[in-house]
Amino acid sequence: MDKIKALAFAKINLSLDITGRRDDGYHLLSTVMQSVSLCDSLYFEKSNQNGIFITCDDDSIPTGEKNIVCKAAAKLFERYGERGVKIHIEKKIPHGAGLAGGSADAAATLLALNELFELNASKDELLKIGVSVGADVAFCMCGGTILCEGIGEKLTPLEPLDNFYALIVKSDVLSPTDAAYKRCDEANISSSFNQDELSGAIAQGDISTLSKNLYNVFELVTPKEVINEAKAALIESGALGAIMTGSGSAVFGLFDNQSDAKKAYSELSGRFPFVHLAKPVQNGVEFK
């Protein structure tokens, strides 16, 4: 095998809470993440020359050592030996959105390179590398409906969800993750979310109750102009509930039927720079 293509799926946070902070400064989280059908496409090809050579169809994405894909590949090669690979990324997941676009690409890279070069790395080994690269990478390697805790290393699979539509809306405003955590620290935000009702709704596949119990601690410290218009527009268009994902600035609304979701998509497509209708998926990465 000389080439492989991977689909790297975005995630949304059905809940997101900060539960503490380690001595090294890393924040501890409790979050239920869900993979959705919005995805990037990554193409991997062996190179005769050692090194990691990245290209991307989005000029705003760095293609050097700052790219998380490069970091993931470098960590893998550091452990299993230097290789040569060409990686081309086709972006569909907007960056700076809280949708884990970079983490999804890094997850796809670890899994794809393990296959391409027949490294025979175990899932646990790859997950450890993933956690060292980024907080959401381990989840993105697994995908589905998962409760993630700690710094992203504790993964508890939940009952798979497949019976909703998520309408994802994003303005041009960015909401950097570091700034969001800093605002939480300055506001002395601590754990306040009761996970039980959300977990119960997931177990029952009850999208109505789930939609009423969406939670994101970052909304408490995010400038209202970043998210309020999108949330209001989603609710007005029939969403059962709406919440910001990750540290933002994307917001999603949940629908329990395709007809309402498509109608809302049509209504909002002209109002925001990015509008995407997604379905839940059960994998974080898929090979083609």
Task: Provide the Cα torsion 273, 92, 248, 131; round to 10°.
Answer: -170
Q: Which phi and psi (to 5°) does residue 155 adopt? A: -115, 125
- Rg over alpha carbons for the chain, rounded to the nearest Å, is 19
Rama region for 132: left / alpha / beta (φ>0; ψ in -120 to 50; rest): alpha
Catalytic (active site) residue 3: no
Please answer whether residues 86 and 20 qualify as being in contact, where contact means their C-beta atoms are separated by less than 8 angstroms: no
Query: Could you count the other beta carbons within 10 Å of the beta carbon of residue 176?
Result: 12
From the candidates 11, 75, 91, 231, which is the catalytic residue?
A: 11
Catalytic (active site) residue 124: no
Amino acid letter for position 46: K
From the candidates 75, 136, 170, 231, which is the catalytic residue?
A: 136
SS3 content of the chain, % helix, strand, coil (to 5): 35, 30, 35
Q: Starting from the edge strand earliest in sequence, which strands make up the sheet with 241-244, in order?
A: 241-244, 251-255, 165-170, 274-278
Q: Where are the alpha helices (DSSP H) in the chain?
A: 68-80, 101-116, 123-133, 137-142, 177-186, 196-204, 207-212, 224-236, 258-268
**Active-site residue set:** 11, 136
